[in-house]
Every structure is written in structure tokens, then in C-alpha cells.
Structure 1
């Protein structure tokens, strides 16, 4: 039973394959820019409306909080309700904190008689549990990354891991101002990713008739720029498919990146 619950949680986190999917998942900090060390609170959920918790809580056990010096910070006062998860973080260093939830796994489907079978897990379990000669076997690797950023004092430079689809800021994500152009770069395995379609949606969508999406595409260097028309929290989403698989049976790799960004007024 516990393994089933873990796989379902993994499926929920990995199912975000573009802004068109039914639900978005996110983490929203109570503040993204602070003048001095202090506590913040994070809301986290999977929802129908961006940043409005109306579906289910996000499983936050895998969340990693990286301090400016690279050390890990443990969340405090973790709580999981029916519609959202929350936790507190004590920010004690000057610089930028990265809050990230990274999931990597294998998805497989096949036929067992007339019945479809589905499986999700890691590469080691895949080799043991999925029949290599299963009829109509389809296998894909998936890496998803969810992030948000909080700066204490002056923002600090951010480094990428070089794995999967990642956002490399040119304009710092805690220095976004309405009416000013912000620039970013998308990387796949540490290399510029051209032609990536990026969608940004401002929160409080349920209070307006139009979704008001901002859509841009990365150039040949993986870069894109956006000028935010209004202040608020924005949900950023991008997805890439390629064939750079590590499991021989897999035919494609699905990469997803999601972030929460706060844009402040001038």
C-alpha cells in the first residue's frame, strides 16, 4: 500500500506536461524579497486555478531548500491538509534561497491480455518489475522540476545542476519589475535549449474572464525575454521532449519545468 501511495504521488508530480494540462502544481512563498533574515511560509498545492488551492495538496516530502551557501535547510511546521500543504522556512543567510522539488522516473504501459497495464517508478525497479517482452510496451523517462526563489538582502547568483530542463536567470527572478524587460535562458542538461515554448500566467485567474497567458519561445541560444504588464505572482511552465534516454527500452524523455515568480510594481 505504501509503495502504491508513493507511486501515485510521483505520478501527480510528473503529470505536468505543459500549460494545457488540467491541473497546475506550485509552491508560493509568503514573501520573495526580504530586507533582513526572518521566517517565511510556503503554500503548496495541485489546483485547477493558478495559486488557488481547490484540488489537492502537493506532496512536499521531496522538497529541497538550498541556502545561499549551498547548504540544505530543513522545513519547519510542515502540515498537509485536504487542499494544500504548508511549511515554514527560517532564512538566516543573506542571498538567494532556492526551493526545489525534482522528480525523475520511468513510465511504462503495455497490454496484459485485453487489459491495459501502467507502471511508474525508478530505473532499478523498472528492470525488475516490467516484463521486457510485454505486448505493446511503451516506455518513457520523465524529469520534472518545480522551483521558487526567495532573496534576503541583495539577490545572489543561481547555479543550475546540468540535469534536465532548467531555467538559468539572466535577470534575477527576485528582481522582476512591471514594465521592465526580464531575460532568461532555458538549458537542457546544461546546454542552451532552442525552440522551447514558455507560458506565463498571472495568479488570481479566477477573478478575471481571460487567462491572459504570456507565451514566448526561446531563441537559438535558449534565451527569451518578457515584459510583465502587471504586478503579481506568475506561474511559469515549459516542457521539452527528446530521445536522450538512459534506459534502453525508453523511446523518449519528457522534461518539465515549473516556477513561481513574483513581479513587483515600479
Structure 2
């Protein structure tokens, strides 16, 4: 299978509900900045231990930062090291910013001369990559979205406007204004419509020090929403995917869906 590193890193987002998978993530130095000259530094990596810098850097080719006014913001001082990537964001305007990496890919399986072949790549490359004499061609199209949020001086809502494409997080409770013990309400959408009965995972950082994962699992209601009391303060990894994995028939590989969506984000719960 041909799989380049940027696609590999983002394909892992679809495995986020697996406690043992390598996770890609972005962690800002602060989610709420009060300063005369506000900046945020973001660490970005793929790691086995949640928020530990222990595996490889996250590729930032598809990174997009959106400011409170909807305009694109250019990252500064971008560095990719051996184990992590780092970038700075100048928060020139008050309000909430979003850092996002969105990836689309196609996973294909086909037969040539009776031999099964597999391929993964971009939509643009797909048509040229599959031989003209290929038979029994099946495809799974994946859309992965990874985000984190940070605000300067005050919070705002513009960056949460949904695109209507894929699996999206549209919080009712602002993710930069969540405190321990408060009740938060989150909403998830699939192609702009409520994502009902969607299971998601919330894992607090610091797993290496606790010795246990500490995972919280919840599912949305018919409106695609969930309301729950916020746990202890700290950085959390939120992840979900759709559809739910299909059960495999005895002796057979599980059937692959024609489309797979994934979402992950880093959010912070502040102390009361």
C-alpha cells in the first residue's frame, strides 16, 4: 500500500476511539490569553502516549488558522523537529481562533490478473493510480478533521460556523470557557445535520502519570447534542468517528464503508 506520511498521520484520526492507537494532536500553550501582546505556541505531534512527545512530528502542510473575523492567519516560526512540530500564532484581534488540519483521502482495493492490490492517496491522484484493466474496484473515502481553539481577551463564535461537509463540532458551550463542575453542552453535525447517537471519547492528558487512561465515553441524543458535567481541570483529547465499525463475519474481514468521517480536537477545562 502506498501511504505518504501526511496522509498516514491524519488517517490515524479515524482510529482515535482506539485507546492503543497513535494519536495526532495539537496542544496550544494557552487556550485563553490575557496580554497586551498575545501569542500562542502550539505543539503538534503523533504519539502513543496522549500529549507525550514520543513518536513523530505532525505534518503541517494542510494547517489552516482562522481568526475571529473569519480571515486566515499565517502561523509564524514554524519548526518540524524529530518528534514534534511547533508553530506560533499572533492573536492580533480579540476573540477566538481555530487551528485546523483537514485531510481527504481515498482507500481503494482492486484486482489485477487475479491479484488483490490496495492503494491510498488523494482524490486527485485516484483516477490516474488505478489501472484501466482493474477489476472489482472498491473505495472508501475518508474526511478527517483535527482542531484546537484559543482566544485572546474574550471569546467569540464565528470560527464554529459549520461548513456543512463531514463530521463537525459545533459547541453550545464555548470550549475556551469551560470550568470544572460546570455543565457543558456540545453538538456534533454530519454534513450539517444532527449527528444522532454518535459515540465520542474524551481522554484527559497526564495518562503517563495516572497509569490509567481515564477515558470518558458519551453518545449524542437525537439532536446531535450531549450535556454533561465537566470533569477535573486539564487538557482533554476529544475524538469521534462515523460510521461505527461494522462487525466482521466469521473468517472474513469487516466490510469497509464507502465513506468514513473522523473528528478530533484538544480542549481545555479550567479550574473553577
Which residue number in structure 2 is paired with residue 35 of structure 1? 34
Deviation at 1:131, TM superposition (A): 3.3
Q: Is the 8 A contact 2:12 2:21 kept in 1?
A: no
Q: Deviations over 1:182-239 (max 9, x none)?
A: 1110000111010110100000101112211111001000001232221100000000
SS at match of 2:170: strand
Deviation at 1:135, TM superposition (A): 4.1
Distance 1:87 1:176 in 2: 25
Which residue number in structure 2 is paired with residue 153 of structure 1? 153
Distance 1:227 1:23 in 2: 28
Identify which of 153, 162, 165 aligns with 1:163: 165
Correspondence 1:9 to 2:11: no
Which residue number in structure 2 is paired with residue 246 of structure 1? none
Which residues of structure 2 form unaligned runs of 5+?
245-255
4+ residue runs of structure 1 moved beyond 6 angstroms? none
Q: Classify 1:193/1:132 alpha carbon distance in 2 versus 1 (closer, same or farther; 3 Å).
A: farther
Correspondence 1:252 to 2:254: no
Q: Deviations over 1:167-188 (max 9, x none)?
A: 0110001011111111110000
Which residue number in structure 2 is paired with residue 263 of structure 1? 269
- Normalised by the length of structure 2, the TM-score is 0.88
Q: Classify 1:251/1:198 alpha carbon distance in 2 versus 1 (closer, same or farther; 3 Å).
A: closer
Distance 1:169 1:196 in 2: 15
- Normalised by the length of structure 1, the TM-score is 0.90
